[in-house]
Amino acid sequence: MIRSTFAGFTTAQLAMAASQRAIDVTGQNIANTNTEGFTRQRLDIASLNLRNGSFYNSSNRTRVGYGVEMTGVSQLRDPFLDAQYRSQIYKLGTTDAHAAGLEKLKVPFDETATSGARDAFLQLSNALQTLSKDDGYTKENDTVVRSRMQILVNLFREKATTLADIRKDTQDSFEATDVKDLNEMLSNIANLNTTIKNSQVLGNPALELMDQRNTLLDELASYLPIEVKYWSQNVGEGVTVQVLDVNFKDTEGKLHSLISDGRCGQFRTDISRGPDGKGPVTLTLTDADGETVEVTDTIGGGTLKGSLDFMNKSGDFDFPPTDFKGIGYYEKVLDSLVETFANAFNEANKSVKVDENGKPVVKMEADGITPVKKQVKNKDGYLEFTETANPNNKVYEKGGKYYTKAGDVYTEIAVANPATDLTPVTEERQTQNEDGYLEFTNTAGDTIYQDIKGKYYTKAGDVYTEITVADPDTELTATMEPVYEYEYDDHPLFEEIVPGKGLTADNIKVAVGWMNGEYGITNSNNVVNDKIGSSANENILNMIDMLSKNFDFNVDNGVTGDVTFYNGSFFSCFANIESTLAIDISSLTVTLDNQITVLNQTSNSRDSISGVQLDEEGMNLLHYNQSYSAAARLMTTLDEMLDKLINGTGVVGR
């Protein structure tokens, strides 16, 4: 086949058109350098050759193509880097939601720069110290203690109110913002799928719409783990378009269709606030195929998981224990601190009941005859028993559970029948007469008295005569008397605002009886010779000691019972809550910084391919300009050749 004379002009014309279009694409890239989500575009070209093979082809025929063909404009994207970026951003979304939630808790618990609960405990201790030195027990000093208690109660309630507001705000934001935005995002991506497909059917690549979709996909990936799948769909004779599907993969490995072509799923949240507003938040997905499933506990990461963790998880207090201390943890530890504090002081302020003669009322056993002796309680708060069958073996009881002890370690044991297998260890104390002298019996059977300075006396009538005792350890035997359990009147310092709800941070008040002056701080329950010491203050000293004493702070996990989260004083317990929050925030901040660094590295790698580089685009302008000039020169050359052929050949003798 003879090549057309004007075929070269077609080649030059196509080359000029391709260079012109390439410059247009480069200009589009430069114009959108600062456009968020824009993906660098390129002109797709292919070599053009319209000739078929021939049976009559010979070796001396040289075939040349007809130039260049523009096949379309495409985007420069790396699907692997897109997938890597989205797998990183959902991890970042989890940590960011965790950190944002805990940052809110700094308002009620961070007292590094403000006076709060810790300062109130110190002021209470000072007020009790003043009251303990008040021999006349004036009402003014009792009022000061009550005011310090009221300040502490107000602080507890204020912190509980703040926590309730944080929980409600988080729940409302999750429902009205996070879930709503997520559903709109799914709907927008599905609509873009339809628009892009329709544009491609009409021959428009819809690259700008793809940029919008990719931006939404990146944002969607921050909410939960997604898998993006592209596939070709045949829409007519020889016409195919690219279709995108998005799936959510849960922690059990099951795929849920979020977007399939033009269809999309929808999320729905249910907030079971309950009477105290602390109910769990659940999340349900109706996927693109119409299947409905609860996904609250099966989201592996993302903003949704982080927010749900903050609202639903309580760390060690969940059953089984979970990996994150959300707002529930801090609500429960604050309630535990308040309950332990209130119960301890209510118990300490009980006063021995007296009869009409002012004599303490001894507590009787069930038969109403035998007085009940006081059972020994060790320094750790455990009641002591001996085994009935082997009195040398000690057993300890606390909270209805029985233990043996080796050193400082208590080991729980089973006791088949405590009533018969164990014998309570009761206390005895040395007899003290009405004058405050301790009583002894010497080897002759005479009664000997000892004063507070350690001197010894005999007594005749009301007269004490000092004597010398050479060896008290061998010559004297202390006269001991049993210690009985007495009946007590409840004089609570704290009461529930709503009866039956329990003493919690938001349900505690100073007792009405104390506020009305019906009773005050019980100064003494020390019974001597059937009388209660009127000027003694050992009970106030006991309250002072309680502020520095170690308590077990427990939270019921609802299944296996109490979980001890701290052992220490009330002051140090609150400080421990503060430090726990600070450590959690610090740990999340470090993790967040690391994840941001990794995400930025992935983003930079992706931008190196998909982002517009002005230096590179400038080089492209020079390159395509030169290409255009060369194609124009080709056309000029061909024109000169034809002019020579037409006008300069075949005329003899000219």
Q: Please write down the HEC assignment for all residues of 365-385.
A: CCCCCCECECECECCCCCEEE
Mean pLDDT in residue range 103-125: 88
Cis bond before residue 108 (omega within 30° of 0): no
Spatial neighbors of 420 by CB under 8 A, at least 6 apart, are: 388
* Most confident listed range (75-89, 116-130, 322-336, 601-615): 322-336
For CA atoms 637, 641, 647, 652, the dihedral sign is positive
**pLDDT score for 141:** 86
Strands 488-489 and 351-352: antiparallel
**CA dist., res. 142 & res. 133, Å (int):** 12
Whether the CB-CB separation of 557 and 580 falls below 8 Å is answered with no
Residue 2 pLDDT exceeds 60: no
**CA dist., res. 481 & res. 527, Å (int):** 12
Residue 651 pLDDT exceeds 50: yes
**pLDDT score for 391:** 92
Helices (H), 136-206: 139-173, 179-201
Q: Which of 495, 496, 536 shows the shortest CA–CA distance to 514?
A: 495
**CA dist., res. 301 & res. 288, Å (int):** 21
Q: What is the pLDDT of residues 291-322, one digit of tens each?
A: 999 999 999 999 999 999 999 999 999 999 99
pTM: 0.80
For CA atoms 411, 417, 419, 421, the dihedral sign is negative
For helices 327-348 and 570-610, angle between their N-to-C axes, nearest 10 degrees? 180
* Most confident listed range (194-208, 265-279, 326-340): 326-340
Order the strands of the 266-271 sheet from edge to edge. Answer: 266-271, 281-286, 292-294
Residue 654 pLDDT exceeds 80: no
**CA dist., res. 157 & res. 108, Å (int):** 10
For CA atoms 336, 338, 341, 345, the dihedral sign is negative
Q: What is the pLDDT of residues 586-600, one digit of tens each?
A: 999 999 999 999 999
Spatial neighbors of 225 by CB under 8 A, at least 6 apart, are: 87, 90, 248, 249, 299, 300, 301, 302
What is the average pLDDT value for the chain, to the nearest integer?
Answer: 89
Tokens of 293: 């499933």
**pLDDT score for 4:** 65
DSSP label at residue 263: E
Whether the CB-CB separation of 141 and 130 falls below 8 Å is answered with yes
Categorize the per-residue pLDDT at 536 as very low, low, confident or very high, splitting at 50, 70 and 90: low
Whether the CB-CB separation of 226 and 217 falls below 8 Å is answered with yes
Helix (H) or strand (E) holding 10: helix 7-31
**pLDDT score for 1:** 44
**CA dist., res. 14 & res. 163, Å (int):** 71
Categorize the per-residue pLDDT at 368 as very low, low, confident or very high, splitting at 50, 70 and 90: low
E-strand ranges in 290-361 read 292-294, 351-352
**pLDDT score for 138:** 63
Q: Residue 396 class from Cβ within 10 Å (0-12 exposed, 13-18 middle, 19+ buried)?
A: buried
Residue 186 pLDDT exceeds 80: yes
Helices (H), 509-613: 512-515, 538-546, 570-610
Residue 182 pLDDT exceeds 50: yes
Single-letter amino acid, residue 322 = T
Look-up: residue for tokens 């300040």?
151
The residues pairing with 162 across neighbouring beta strands, listed in sequence order, are none
* Most confident listed range (69-83, 332-346, 473-487): 332-346
The residues pairing with 281 across neighbouring beta strands, listed in sequence order, are 271
For helices 139-173 and 117-132, angle between their N-to-C axes, nearest 10 degrees? 170
The residues pairing with 480 across neighbouring beta strands, listed in sequence order, are 430
Mean pLDDT in residue range 5-14: 83
Residue 132 pLDDT exceeds 70: yes
Mean pLDDT in residue range 260-268: 92
Whether the CB-CB separation of 252 and 298 falls below 8 Å is answered with yes
Q: What is the pLDDT of residues 47-71, one digit of tens each?
A: 887 666 555 555 556 677 788 989 8
**CA dist., res. 551 & res. 546, Å (int):** 9
Phi, psi of 267, rounded to the nearest 5 degrees:
-100, 150
**pLDDT score for 233:** 82
Single-letter amino acid, residue 592 = L
Q: Residue 625 class from Cβ within 10 Å (0-12 exposed, 13-18 middle, 19+ buried)?
A: middle
List C-alpha distances in Å: 463 to 176, 207, 449, 460, 478.
Answer: 87, 114, 12, 5, 21
Strands 266-271 and 263-264: unpaired
Q: How many Cβ atoms from other residues are within 10 Å of residue 443's Cβ? A: 9
Three-state SS letters, 71-116: EEEEECCCHHHHHHHHHHHHHHHHHHHHHHHHHHCHHHHCCCCCCC
Q: What is the pLDDT of residues 11-46, one digit of tens each?
A: 889 999 999 999 999 999 999 999 888 999 999 899
Q: What is the pLDDT of residues 399-411, one digit of tens each?
A: 889 999 998 899 9
Q: What is the pLDDT of residues 335-363, one digit of tens each?
A: 999 999 999 999 999 998 888 888 888 88
DSSP label at residue 51: P
List C-alpha distances in Å: 248 to 254, 259, 260, 595.
Answer: 8, 9, 12, 22
**CA dist., res. 174 & res. 306, Å (int):** 11
Instruction: Please state, for a pLDDT cut of 90, what percent of the chain lies above it.
Output: 60
